[in-house]
Amino acid sequence: MSEQENNSMLPLVSVLGLMVAFAVFIGVLAAVIGGFARHDRPLDEREMAALKERIAPIGQVRTSDQPPMETANAGEPQAAVAPRSGTEVVQQACAACHAAGVLGAPKIGAKGDWEPRLAQGFDTLLKHSITGIRAMPPKGGNPGLSEDELKAALTEMLKQSSLAP
């Protein structure tokens, strides 16, 4: 190699050397700081209770209509839940979209919105309310609704729209 080539490589090698030295320095500094932050002693009961409280789950995910596990007692019979009336279901689940006609939902009280749907048959309307259609989720977004409750809600919305099922 000529002397000119050696002189042009010198700045590159120097910069690379400084970068490696800086990386080693940062690694040593991190190890020293990390060593000071470590606690090798066991936690006392108060600290352990506080830790468990901080990492405890805040909720549960349910993917079915079954009651939560903490309320379901295998040995005891479940008390029957009274079905909600059509008016209650409409207020709790249906009115969120059907009161204002959100995303093309037929408005409660708008006879013209409901007539073409009712022309397909009440059973078809009920099926769509159970399985969902277009932007409407199954059971209006409330998987806890029974078929009878949906039927009562659908009847109520048709009644409020001056139609009979």
CA–CA separation, 144 and 95 (whole Å): 17
3-state secondary structure of 163: coil
Tens digits of per-residue pLDDT, 82-132? 788 888 888 888 888 888 888 888 998 888 988 988 899 989 988 988 888
pLDDT over threshold 60, residue 10: yes
Q: What per-residue confidence (pLDDT) applies to 17? A: 94
107 contacts 99 by C-beta, under 8 angstroms: yes
Q: What φ, ψ does residue 99 adopt, rounded to 5°?
A: -70, -35
* Tens digit of each residue's pLDDT (9 = 90 or more) over 15-57: 999 999 999 999 999 888 877 666 567 888 998 999 899 998 8
Domain 86-160, CATH among 1.10.1740.10, 1.10.760.10, 1.20.140.10, 1.10.10.60: 1.10.760.10
